[in-house]
Amino acid sequence: MSELIRRLRDGLPEDAVLTDPDVTGSYSRDMADFCDAGTPAAVVLPRTVDEVQHVMRTATALRVPVVPQGARTGLSGAANASDGCIVLSLLRMDRILEISPADRIAVVEPGVVNAALSRAVEEHGLHYPPDPSSWEQCTIGGNIGTAAGGLCCVKYGVTAEYVLGLDVVLADGRLMSTGRRTAKGVAGYDMTRLFTGSEGTLGIVVRAVLALKPKPPQQLALAAEFPSAAAAGDAVSRIMESGHVPSLMELMDRTTLRAVNALNDMGLPESTEALLLTAFDTDDPGADLAAVGALCEEAGASHVVPAETRAESELLLQARRSVHWALEALPGTTMIDDVCVPRTRLAEMLEGTAAVSEKYGLTIGVCAHAGDGNTHPTVCFDPHDEDETRRAHQAFDAIMALGLELGGTITGEHGVGVLKREWLARELGPVGLEMQRGIKQLLDPLGLLNPGKVF
């Protein structure tokens, strides 16, 4: 037994240290199939804060890199193992420690699944908004690591806006508390937000205080078909300019609509160029939808179909949630991008993406959190065809370049991971990059936490 395994086992239960390569192999990567992943020396599955501290102390003593993991549903390779690392899976720390309806907070361990928390707080009349498409699998710890978004963000914002306080195990094994459990607080620098979205490169989140909202009425949706993506983008601008506050505003292009129908036979319109879904969870969603329907028609919608019941709405949302799997089921493989632009530039982003698709001769399916200007162009290619693979990477990069040109960001919600490291420098510029590296150096001086990610 190696010194590493022996020392890990010294402070962890027998079943918390996995070394069988057949087992540890299944912890080697997240859902970004096309990113490199290495072979871990061990996978550890602690159940307590003490055990996480033991893992980090051991890693520091032996200078072994540590890759923290949630449910591995990430899309940028941030949870991928590196050779010889310790994979630190937080899946067994899955307790909801507290739900307080009057304080509107929940206190949770990092391994709690997003949907489990959502359902638990719902029983108290409360609502935890962040809802990544993978919400049935992904964990709160992973959501915090990537500052994950979802479909709700256009009204309710991203994960980061719900993280009030954290307990974090630092690289050297010390425990640090950040933030608060109060509604407000400004004592010192905002370390909570620094850890949120840091993709496991600054510390291990072992406990989180999350803000909750009262449960809103169930949302009601409207589907509008457009003859061009640009017309749909124009509708988005008109709707937001008119002061509406939709609870969801999603766009699917023709490629995406066909893929979803092929997977599930959802009966989505295939002759339309872009379908815009808009929903409201207000007291009178029918009135909001009527106003939005009229704006869609002004922007050139060919058909406007309000859902008649909440069940019908739910079906539309299910169709949207299945997009990732539908595009994955197409022949070949896919590379999903995550560019976010100011929503007034959405039409240009969609038109530019179509031009990229044409230039590189590749299918690119686009779905978008349209209300946020956050597009997910998915490049489809045959990984066994060298030329096509090369073109796919060029197209992927061209999409990010276009996003930056339009005043956007290379990643709206998926994170940098290993996928977009080279692009981060372009977005941050030299001074920004230097300061971010300084923070990494401060919190992880030996470079053991998720090395090779983000920077």
Q: How far is the CB of 199 from its own copies (least distance, A)?
A: 9
Considering only residues 1, 123, 186, 331, which one is a binding residue for its own copies as defined by CB under 8 A?
186
Counting contacts by CB under 8 A, is residue 235 touching its own copies? Answer: no
Considering only residues 57, 92, 215, 391, which one is a binding residue for its own copies as defined by CB under 8 A?
215
Q: Which is nearer to its own copies, 146 or 272 (CB)?
A: 146
Counting contacts by CB under 8 A, is residue 161 touching its own copies? Answer: yes
Considering only residues 35, 341, 362, 398, which one is a binding residue for its own copies as defined by CB under 8 A?
341
Find the part of the chain contacting its own copies (CB under 8 A) among 298-306, 340-348, 358-366, 382-390: 340-348
Counting contacts by CB under 8 A, is residue 454 touching its own copies? Answer: yes
Q: Which is nearer to its own copies, 57 or 258 (CB)?
A: 57
Find the part of the chain contacting its own copies (CB under 8 A) among 11-19, 185-193, 217-225, 259-267: 185-193
How many whole angstroms separate alpha carbon 383 and alpha carbon 386? Answer: 7
Q: How far is the CB of 167 from its own copies (least distance, A)?
A: 11
Contact residues for 82 (Cβ-Cβ < 8 A; gap 6+): 38, 40, 65, 67, 451, 452
How many whole angstroms separate alpha carbon 320 and alpha carbon 131? Answer: 13
Find the part of the chain contacting its own copies (CB under 8 A) among 34-42, 144-152, 298-306, 352-360: 144-152
Residue 96 near residue 113, CB atoms below 8 Å? no
Coil, strand, or helix at residue 17?
A: strand
Considering only residues 71, 240, 251, 402, which one is a binding residue for its own copies as defined by CB under 8 A?
240
Q: How far is the CB of 368 from its own copies (least distance, A)?
A: 12
Alpha-carbon distances of 79 from 72, 217, 281, 335, rounded to whole Å: 6, 36, 34, 17
Q: Strands 42-44 and 86-89: what pairing? A: parallel
Q: How far is the CB of 382 from its own copies (least distance, A)?
A: 30
The 10 Å CB-count burial string (b at 16+, else e) for 289-328 is beebbebbeebebeebbbbeeeeebeebbebbbbbbebbb
How many whole angstroms separate alpha carbon 55 and alpha carbon 171? Answer: 10
Specify which residues 87 forms β-bridges with: 43, 67
Coil, strand, or helix at residue 169?
A: strand
Crossing angle of helices 229-241 and 346-360, in 10° steps, is 160
Q: Which is nearer to its own copies, 267 or 286 (CB)?
A: 286
Considering only residues 84, 101, 217, 361, which one is a binding residue for its own copies as defined by CB under 8 A?
101
DSSP structure class, residue 29: -
41, 40, 52: which is closest to 2 by C-alpha?
A: 41
Counting contacts by CB under 8 A, is residue 424 touching its own copies? Answer: yes
How many whole angstroms separate alpha carbon 91 and alpha carbon 232? Answer: 40
Q: Which is nearer to its own copies, 225 or 234 (CB)?
A: 234
Considering only residues 14, 63, 184, 265, which one is a binding residue for its own copies as defined by CB under 8 A?
184
Considering only residues 410, 419, 448, 449, which one is a binding residue for its own copies as defined by CB under 8 A?
410
Counting contacts by CB under 8 A, is residue 397 touching its own copies? Answer: no
Residue 139 near residue 71, CB atoms below 8 Å? yes
x/- mask, its own copies, residues 308-327, rule CB under 8 A, reads --------------------
Counting contacts by CB under 8 A, is residue 373 touching its own copies? Answer: yes
Find the part of the chain contacting its own copies (CB under 8 A) among 49-57, 235-243, 311-319, 354-362: 235-243
Q: What is the residue-wise DSSP string for 240-306?
A: HHTT---SEEEEEEHHHHHHHHHHH-----SS-SEEEEEEE-SS-HHHHHHHHHHHHHHTT-SEEEE
Q: Strands, E, within 325-438: which ranges?
A: 333-336, 339-340, 364-369, 374-381
Considering only residues 130, 365, 371, 452, which one is a binding residue for its own copies as defined by CB under 8 A?
371
Counting contacts by CB under 8 A, is residue 220 touching its own copies? Answer: no
x/- mask, its own copies, residues 266-285, rule CB under 8 A, reads -----------------xx-
Structure tokens at 300: 């050139």
Counting contacts by CB under 8 A, is residue 57 touching its own copies? Answer: no
Counting contacts by CB under 8 A, is residue 241 touching its own copies? Answer: yes
Counting contacts by CB under 8 A, is residue 390 touching its own copies? Answer: no
Counting contacts by CB under 8 A, is residue 442 touching its own copies? Answer: yes
Counting contacts by CB under 8 A, is residue 414 touching its own copies? Answer: yes
The count of other CB atoms within 10 Å of the CB of residue 358 is 10
Compute φ and ψ for 358, nearest 5 degrees. -70, -45
Find the part of the chain contacting its own copies (CB under 8 A) among 21-29, 44-52, 294-302, 367-375: 367-375
Q: Scanning residues 34 to 53, which ones bind its own copies (CB under 8 A)?
A: none
CA angle 391, 396, 397 (to 5 degrees): 100
Q: Which is nearer to its own copies, 84 or 217 (CB)?
A: 217
